[in-house]
Amino acid sequence: MSIKNIVLFVVISLLTFNSCKEKNTTDLAEHKTPQNLPPNILFILCDDLGYADVGFNGATDIRTPNLDQLAQDGTIFTAAYVAHPFCGPSRAALLTGRYPHTIGSQFNLPANGASTGKGITTQEQFISVPMQEAGYYTGAMGKWHLGETSEYHPNHRGFDDFYGFLGGGHKYFPEEFKKQFNRQKDEGKNPVNDYLLPLEHNGNTIDEKEYLTDAFSREASRFIREAKNKNKPFFLYLAYNAPHVPLEAKTQDLEQFKHIENLDRRTYAAMVYAVDRGVGNIVKNLKKTGQFENTLIIFLSDNGGHTGHGANNYPLTGRKGDTWEGGYRVPMFFHWPNKVPKGLKFDFPVSSLDFYPTLNHLAGATIPENKILDGKNIWKAFTSNQNPHDKETLFAMRHREGYTDVAARQNDWKAVKVHQEPWKLFNITHDISEKTDLSAAHPVILEKLVTEAENWSKTHTEPLWFDPLYLEQMWNDSTMATFNKTFKISQD
């Protein structure tokens, strides 16, 4: 072979090699292994679910086999807190990553048309927006309660798909709420009660025919199948309104709980069971579409259970609306095969404020540099079983009629003020029921926590709305806005 032919052969060989190398690299990029794919995120939120109202958290009279299996195969959080002890503000915190008091959403949006034109400020980017920008298919199913007009609608807050209702609650049986809706319309009532309004899908009215909990489970499965067909990772915010009042359950679900004598408790149990049944069907769809192994499932409640409406927060003191543990400490678990520790109980405190940075980190999404966050990315601490909030304080605050309840927890210690009583101090790690007040024995610790709570309160803004509406006059006429005496420890 001549020198010329040898050179030509070498050149052709190199070109062929490089071409194959580039093709193989492209093929690898296009066909990533499941381990390298960003996870699907299924976020399941219950409404007013009690701390002890699921089997994995101690329920003995309510059966939740599907949730229990997921919790058993994942990690249970024993000290999970939301950022506010009732509905709207808690949801605002979860989706914005901000304490609701810092963005003017300290109160629920008022019902029945009184909130028209109001909603969570659009200056705050919702958790869904960075995910959407990172290529996620995003959905919100169920209860919204964050604004009803166009600029506050889920489809304009980072969610590609929304199916549900925009207000703070709803009746469960379509045949009942449709009749009542039509009756109020015929009587000329304007506005019609929020709990009777038709459901919607992306702004279009829907003639729903199923029990609402079943409808939301059905739509979640539909969304999951669509995500698979789009070949995109998904973020689904599934916000059941169960077991929030009105207490309404299907006959076949009630049949499961004949052993419960109290009718409210029995109906409540059946409503929780319907959620569990729906989650079981969703898991089947995840497995059927091959998405289960790469889906992080998060389950929790928006606040503590309402013990006046069938809930049980044992062993916690208090209920929905309180700054006692029972108001804002909630049942929670993570499930993600081979990524979330199996069979672990995570006993360190975490906050719903942590979801925004943590989940966007897992999604590989970019959070704008100017986005203020009150939580933190806890993933590394969580997976290494370390305290993500060591020496950091988590707060709760609820404005009542003319006064304010407050709580501040740091590591083992919690300071709490409720119902205009003196400040109390508890070792919350060893006294989860808040029975033994240690304020006299540890005055320095109490003073430190109260001072931190007071400094935190100085970051708050004026409420953008009030619920009930008469609280606005009370806010302006009293000293509520200036927290007068709230942070005074001595009773002199």
Catalytic residues: 87, 145
197 alpha-carbon distance from chain centroid: 24
Alpha carbon separation from 184 to 112, 177, 212, 247 (Å, rounded): 13, 10, 21, 21
Secondary structure (3-state) at 392 = coil
Half-sphere exposure of 137 (CA within 13 A, CB side): 16
Report helix, strand and coil shares of the chain as percent, to nearest 5. Answer: 40, 15, 45
Rounded to 5 degrees, φ, ψ at 10 are: -65, -45
Residue 479: which H helix or E strand, with range?
none
Alpha carbon separation from 94 to 2, 276, 280, 405, 479 (Å, rounded): 74, 22, 24, 21, 29
Beta bridge partners of 427: 413
Cis check for the bond before 85: say yes or no (omega within 30 of 0).
Answer: no
Residue type, 233: P
